Amino acid sequence: MFIDFWIDRLEDPFEMFALIGVLRSIGQIANDSLSRRSERAGWWGVSPKYYSVEDEHDIEVVEHVIGSGFVVAQTSITQAVTLLKRMHEDAGCPVWLPKDKAVVLNTAAPIHPDAGLSKIAIINTAADYYKHRSEWKEVEWVGPPYKNKTIANAVEIGLGPKGYHNMESALRELQIYDYNMSPLGRVIGDWREALADHVRSEGKKHGVDIHPRYPEDPDAGEQASATPPALLGDDDVPFP
């Protein structure tokens, strides 16, 4: 069945291992910039009005690095949405299979308690903010209400048209308090597996059997989920 094929793609752990490794490497660039800045001003830093040219440069580097990390993470979200759309088409467009992007981003995803958005939607919003913020006029930030849905979501997670640390703030909203962005990959990996389980559950309700994760060998799940040691740091926990 075509659904089984797309489910396998959706929860392929090796795609997520690669994403986690790349996000960790990206985060190291941000850590290097923070270290340079700290050597000049100390770990507590100085007021923005006293930033040196070097401080401004390093802050901008960190913002670009974190923004790039969000965009890399977004590619995995976009892939998941595409897989659900293709699954929906190949299954004959059943109503129980989500296909609209906004619905998919909120299906089986953890919800941010204050913003009311799913953490997947927050990652997607942060990536879109980083890519498109220069396109938006200041008048578009006047609200509520906001005509631009991405701006509305960005405001919910504390982003604005100006400021030094917007991308860093987006990272903090996901309870990631250093620049190792590999947790973004784990959030997405957990969500993709939960999304696959949601499809299985809905399929069962409608008489469609979808194979379970690691169906051939009861021990295969443990073997397949063991992250290669080279990809793990001391603070990393492999999923699922």
Stated pTM of the model? 0.81
d(CA 22, CA 69): 8
d(CA 71, CA 108): 21
Half-sphere exposure of residue 36: CA atoms within 13 angstroms, side-chain side:
16
* CB neighbour class for 116 (10 Å; exposed up to 12, middle 13-18, buried from 19): exposed
- Residue identified by tokens 């088409």 is 89
- Quick one: which of 119, 103, 123 has its CA closest to 111? 119
pLDDT value, residue 30: 80
**Sign of the C-alpha dihedral computed for residues 172, 225, 68 and 110 taken in this order:** negative
- Quick one: which of 38, 124, 116, 25 has its CA closest to 65? 25
Find the length of the chain.
240
- Residue identified by tokens 């942060």 is 126
pLDDT value, residue 178: 81
Cβ(173)–Cβ(112) under 8 Å?
A: yes
pLDDT value, residue 62: 86
- Quick one: which of 192, 207, 214, 193 has its CA closest to 91? 207
Cβ(123)–Cβ(136) under 8 Å?
A: no
Cβ(170)–Cβ(68) under 8 Å?
A: no
d(CA 117, CA 109): 9
Encoding tokens for residue 35? 């270290």
Question: Which residues, listed in sequence order, are joined to residue 111 by a DSSP beta bridge?
Answer: 118
**Sign of the C-alpha dihedral computed for residues 194, 196, 199 and 204 taken in this order:** negative
d(CA 183, CA 195): 18
pLDDT value, residue 232: 46
pLDDT value, residue 42: 60
Could you list the pLDDT tens digit for every one of the 240 residues in the chain?
578 999 999 999 988 999 999 999 998 888 777 777 666 666 556 566 656 667 677 778 888 999 999 999 999 999 999 999 999 999 899 999 999 999 999 999 999 888 789 999 999 999 999 999 999 999 999 988 999 999 999 999 999 987 668 998 999 999 988 888 899 999 999 999 999 999 999 999 998 888 888 666 444 444 444 444 444 444 554 433
d(CA 200, CA 135): 40
Q: Where are any strands of DSSP class E within the chain?
A: none
- Residue identified by tokens 């059997």 is 209
